[in-house]
């Protein structure tokens, strides 16, 4: 989840708004709570004679972190249903930060995406839904699976469980979430009337978990609904009311660290601070959430989806080239633009002058306020702002886009 990024931002903000002695204690207290796990790349980096991990600014092509949400009930109490054994990565997100720290892309992988799970230290070597990779070999196996699927090298990874989501949403004081249609899901106990509600604790977790209550009832719909929450969470974290509140920041960082497992190289305080610095001042419009493209296919089991490797190739080529990405329009299966969203500074006008290059029929009156129909950008082309145009089936939004979740009627 975006929990890692918000934790990193909070950590460096704590250092910025507090006194030296308090900041030193906070940094020690937070990092002392972290649980770590080794990745295959960690072991290679620790080999005799290996060079120390490079600073973030020196990593070629940006920084890649895998963020995993586990459905394990171990140590979580009985509030989340019966423990069915095993551990599935029902949320798998890849966070890419550009090397110049001007943009970030978050790719969500559907849990039902059927992929080749590679040979992992403790299992794998077969084709299955991606959410089985965690149970096959832990976080390291999920990293290897996403590396194989994306062609990217992923040196950092983190795993968070249910309680972590609850405690982080409480620490930030709630996350405002817009709902355009009634969400009523008896499976997770989520009931939200149309409008904006501040979600925290179990309500926030239930909203992130609900699948039957949003969109078409699929995991693909849940991803777009999660993007509504995550974009609002990022805006909340970066707001003045949070960044200037040491208590909130410290509580957020502590809640995250106490409920997360981090890979060895990510758990280093120096690494966390250097990554946090790259995120702290990033423009919200340059933080883009997208869903890995997929489609229904005869060769996958019922209810599962196949990877659209052609569309994905455009997405990961942009990430490999360290370019920002642009979706066709904000929203997805279970999210739409908020009609009551605040007007953003510098936002384009809703109408445009008539394009003088277009022939005008003299018999038809010209409306000078009518918008000009923009030309459809070429797939994979680069916009004026340097962003790569993604295929229409790659859905998502930026953190600056105010969106609402759509209920499943």
d(CA 138, CA 124): 11
Q: What are residue 41's phi and psi, to 5 degrees?
A: -70, -30
Q: Buried b vs exposed e over 156-182: b needs ≥16 C-beta within 10 Å?
A: bbbbbbbbbbbbbbbbbbbbebbbbbe
Residue 171 · residue 248 · CB < 8 Å: yes
d(CA 207, CA 185): 9
CA angle 251-253-258, nearest 5°? 95
Q: Assess if residue 365 is contained within a domain.
A: no
d(CA 68, CA 259): 12
Q: Assess if residue 359 is contained within a domain.
A: no
Residue 210 · residue 222 · CB < 8 Å: yes
Q: Assess if residue 368 is contained within a domain.
A: no
**Between 269-280 and 20-31, two packed helices, what is the crossing angle to 10 degrees?**
110
- CATH number, domain of 23, equals 3.40.630.190
d(CA 236, CA 252): 12
Q: Assess if residue 361 is contained within a domain.
A: no
Local structure of residue 219 (DSSP, 8 states): H
3-class state of residue 316 by DSSP: helix
Q: Assess if residue 362 is contained within a domain.
A: no
| Residue-level pLDDT at 90 | 83
C-alpha pair distances (Å), 47 with each of 28, 52, 356: 27, 10, 65
Q: What are residue 101's phi and psi, to 5 degrees?
A: 65, 30
Q: Which domain holds residue 177?
A: 3-345+376-405
d(CA 51, CA 331): 43
d(CA 146, CA 116): 10
Rg from Cα positions in the chain = 22
Residue among 275, 246, 251 at smallest CA distance from 263: 275
| Residue-level pLDDT at 45 | 56
| Residue-level pLDDT at 59 | 42
| Domains identified in the chain, total number | 1
d(CA 64, CA 87): 23
- Residues of the chain below pLDDT 50: 1-25, 50-61, 73, 76, 79-81, 83, 348-358, 360, 362, 364, 366, 368, 370-377
d(CA 240, CA 222): 29
Residue 59 · residue 99 · CB < 8 Å: yes
**Between 201-209 and 162-171, two packed helices, what is the crossing angle to 10 degrees?**
130
Q: Which residues contact 149 (CB under 8 A, 6 or more apart)?
A: 109, 115, 116, 130, 307, 312
Task: Look up tokens 């960690």; give the residue.
Answer: 42
d(CA 64, CA 8): 14
| Residue-level pLDDT at 63 | 85
Q: Assess if residue 338 is contained within a domain.
A: yes
Give me the residues paired with residue 107 across strands.
Answer: 94, 290
Considering the entire predicted model, what is its pTM? 0.79
Q: Assess if residue 351 is contained within a domain.
A: no
Task: Look up tokens 């795993």; give the residue.
Answer: 159
Where do the H-state alpha helices sit in 244-336? 246-258, 269-280, 309-320
Residue 263 · residue 158 · CB < 8 Å: yes
| Residue-level pLDDT at 238 | 78
Task: Look up tokens 């972590």; give the residue.
Answer: 164
Reported as a single tens digit per residue, the pLDDT across 195-254 is 999 999 889 889 998 999 999 999 999 999 999 998 998 888 777 666 667 677 677 667
Handedness of CA 251, 158, 389, 282 (dihedral sign): positive
């Amino acid at each position: 989840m975006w929990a890692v990024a918000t934790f990193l931002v909070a950590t460096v903000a704590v250092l910025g708004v507090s006194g030296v002695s308090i900041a030193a204690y906070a940094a020690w207290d937070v990092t002392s709570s972290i649980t770590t796990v080794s990745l295959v790349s960690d072991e290679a980096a620790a080999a005799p004679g290996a060079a120390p991990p490079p600073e973030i600014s020196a990593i070629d092509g940006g920084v890649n972190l895998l963020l995993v949400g586990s459905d394990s009930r171990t140590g979580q109490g009985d509030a989340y249903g019966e423990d069915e054994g095993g551990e599935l990565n029902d949320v798998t997100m890849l966070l890419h930060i550009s090397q110049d720290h001007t943009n970030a892309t978050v790719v969500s992988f559907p849990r039902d995406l059927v992929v080749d799970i590679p040979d992992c230290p403790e299992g794998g070597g077969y084709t299955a839904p991606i959410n089985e990779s965690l149970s096959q070999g832990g976080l390291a196996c999920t990293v290897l699976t996403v590396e194989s699927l994306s062609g990217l090298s992923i040196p950092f990874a983190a795993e968070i469980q249910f309680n972590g989501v609850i405690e982080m949403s409480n620490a930030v004081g709630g996350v405002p979430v817009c709902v355009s249609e009634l969400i009523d899901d008896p499976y997770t106990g989520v009931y939200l009337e149309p409008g904006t509600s501040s979600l925290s604790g179990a309500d926030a977790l239930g909203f992130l978990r609900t699948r039957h209550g949003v969109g078409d009832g699929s995991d693909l719909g849940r991803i777009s609904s999660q993007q509504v929450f995550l974009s609002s969470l990022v805006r909340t974290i970066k707001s003045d009311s949070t960044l200037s509140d040491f208590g909130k920041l410290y509580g957020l960082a502590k809640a995250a660290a106490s409920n997360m497992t981090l890979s060895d190289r990510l758990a280093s305080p120096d690494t966390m601070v250097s990554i946090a610095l790259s995120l702290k001042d990033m423009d919200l419009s340059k933080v883009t959430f997208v869903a890995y493209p997929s489609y229904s296919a005869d060769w996958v089991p019922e209810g599962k989806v196949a990877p659209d490797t052609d569309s994905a190739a455009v997405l990961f080529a942009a990430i490999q080239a360290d370019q920002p990405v642009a979706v066709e329009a904000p929203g997805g299966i279970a999210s739409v633009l908020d009609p009551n969203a605040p007007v953003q500074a510098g936002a384009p006008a809703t109408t445009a002058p008539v394009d003088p290059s277009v022939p005008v029929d003299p018999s038809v009156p010209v409306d000078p306020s009518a918008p000009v129909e923009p030309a459809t950008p070429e797939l994979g082309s680069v916009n004026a702002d340097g962003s790569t145009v993604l295929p229409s089936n790659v859905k998502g939004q930026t953190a600056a886009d105010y969106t609402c979740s759509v209920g499943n009627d």
